Structure 1
Amino acid sequence: MSDKVLIVDDDPAVCKLLEKVMHSNDLETSVADSGLTALNQLKNHTYDMILMDVMLGDMEGFEVIKRLRSQGIQTPVMIVSGRNEDYDSLYGLSVGADDYITKPFRPLVLGAKVKALIRRNKNQVLYSSDVLECGSFTYNTSTMRFYKNGEEIVLSSKESSLMLLFLKHPGQVFTKDMIYDHVWGNSVAVDDNAIMVYINRLRGKIEENRQKPVRIVTVRGLGYRFIP
């Protein structure tokens, strides 16, 4: 069965192009022409990937991502936008997107990025069916649900990958290159700022004070260490 991609864009021409690219990569597609339509479809259908425009008729794509993440929907999201400012890409990552590509895009690159994200997300689910416990933290790898002191904390797919890396190797120092290799892989270009965005997002969710972290600590000149 082919993997399914939800395309969220209010421009019919862009939707048609995105569908053509996805079909050429043996992916099935559905289209939502507004944020509300996308949220409704995600309530009733499961997708392997979401391609999200930023400028929608009824709300910004950023808002759609925030809502679906707050509902516990962890489907990988790639923003496909004509806005190419650094702020937009970093903000998109901070609210739960997994990647950001600007228009006009190269079809071969887009297709490769989509398939890589889908593949890594599926591999993440297959890590183990056991419950991973580390200090006050618990991660159920079969349901991809994360808890601190028994209270669930919703993570995006990239946050989940990063948290799993830390939970499986408590106390180990990870350089940014190591985090890049484990979480993004070699097929996607990620700069240091993106890694810092995800570190700060995790700190905001698991630290008592993200400005004075004691769980994910910075090892000056090297990288980061997780202390459960």
Structure 2
Amino acid sequence: MSDKVLIVDDDPSVLKLLEKVMHSNDLETTLADSGLAALNCIKNNTYDMILMDVMLGDMEGFEVIKKLRSQGIQTPVMIVSGRNEDYDSLYGLSLGADDYITKPFRPLVLGAKVKALIRRYKNQVLDSSDILECGPFSYNTSTMRFYNKGEEIILSSKESSLMLLFLKHPGQVYTKEMIYEHVWGNSVAVDDNAIMVYINRLRSKIEEDRQKPAHIVTVRGLGYRFIP
């Protein structure tokens, strides 16, 4: 069975182009031309990937991502936008998007990125036993739900991947290269900003004081260590 991709864009020509790229990669597609249409699709169906435009007719794609993550939906989201600005990419990542690509894009690159994201997300679900416990934290890998002292904390797919890395190896120092290779699947072109975005997001969710973290600790000059 082919993986399913939801494509969200209010430009019919872009929808057709994205659909063509996905079909060339043996992926099934559903098309949505507005934020509301996308939310309705996600409410009634399950997808392996979402391609999200930023500027939609009825709302910004960022708002759609917010709603998904607030509902605990962790389907990988890639922003596909014509706005080539660092703010947009960092803001999208901070809301829980998993990747960002700008228009015009190279079809081969987009297809490879989408398939890689789907593969990593599925491997993440299958990797390890159902319940992983470490200090006050627990993670149910079958339901992709994370808890701190029994209280559920909503994580995006990349936050989940990073949190699982820490939970499985408490006390180990991870360099930025190691983190980027594990979470993004690439250790050659490390994006320091992307790593900092997700470290800060996790800290804001699990630390009592994000400015003085007790769990995700910076090891100066090296990287990060997780102390449960």
TM-score, normalization by structure 1 = 0.98
1-side partners of 2:117 and 2:190: how far apart? 13
1:109 paired residue number: 109
2-side partners of 1:122 and 1:65: how far apart? 20
2:217 paired residue number: 217
Q: Secondary structure at the match of 1:7?
A: strand
TM-score, normalization by structure 2 = 0.98
Given that 1:2 and 1:26 are in contact with CA atoms closer than 8 Å, whether structure 2 keeps it comes out as yes
Aligned pair count? 228
1:123 paired residue number: 123
1-side partners of 2:67 and 2:113: how far apart? 24
Report how far residue 186 of structure 1 moved: 2.5
Report how far residue 211 of structure 1 moved: 1.2
Instruction: Say whether 1:182 aligns with 2:182.
Output: yes
Report how far residue 65 of structure 1 moved: 0.2
Report how far residue 187 of structure 1 moved: 8.5
2-side partners of 1:4 and 1:188: how far apart? 29
2-side partners of 1:54 and 1:181: how far apart? 27
Report how far residue 89 of structure 1 moved: 0.4
1:99 paired residue number: 99
Deviates more, 1:128-137 or 1:171-180: 128-137
Matches within 5 A, 1:12-51: 12-51=12-51
Given that 1:6 and 1:51 are in contact with CA atoms closer than 8 Å, whether structure 2 keeps it comes out as yes
Given that 2:178 and 2:187 are in contact with CA atoms closer than 8 Å, whether structure 1 keeps it comes out as no
2-side partners of 1:143 and 1:172: how far apart? 26
2-side partners of 1:39 and 1:197: how far apart? 25
Identity %: 89
2:82 paired residue number: 82
Report how far residue 209 of structure 1 moved: 1.2
Structure 2: any 5+ residue segments left out of the alignment?
Answer: none
Report how far residue 129 of structure 1 moved: 3.5
Question: Please, what is the CA RMSD of the aligned residues?
Answer: 1.1
2-side partners of 1:130 and 1:141: how far apart? 5
Given that 1:113 and 1:187 are in contact with CA atoms closer than 8 Å, whether structure 2 keeps it comes out as no
2:162 paired residue number: 162
Instruction: Say whether 1:53 aligns with 2:63.
Output: no
1:143 paired residue number: 143
Q: Secondary structure at the match of 1:68?
A: helix
Structure 1: any 5+ residue segments left out of the alignment?
Answer: none
Report how far residue 189 of structure 1 moved: 4.9
2-side partners of 1:58 and 1:134: how far apart? 43
Given that 1:116 and 1:187 are in contact with CA atoms closer than 8 Å, whether structure 2 keeps it comes out as no
2:68 paired residue number: 68
2:201 paired residue number: 201
Report how far residue 190 of structure 1 moved: 4.6
Report how far residue 130 of structure 1 moved: 2.4
The residue type equivalent to 2:6 in the other structure is L
- The one-character-per-residue Cα deviations of 1:172-193 (angstroms, maximum 9, x if unpaired) are 1100000011111129955110
Given that 1:6 and 1:50 are in contact with CA atoms closer than 8 Å, whether structure 2 keeps it comes out as yes
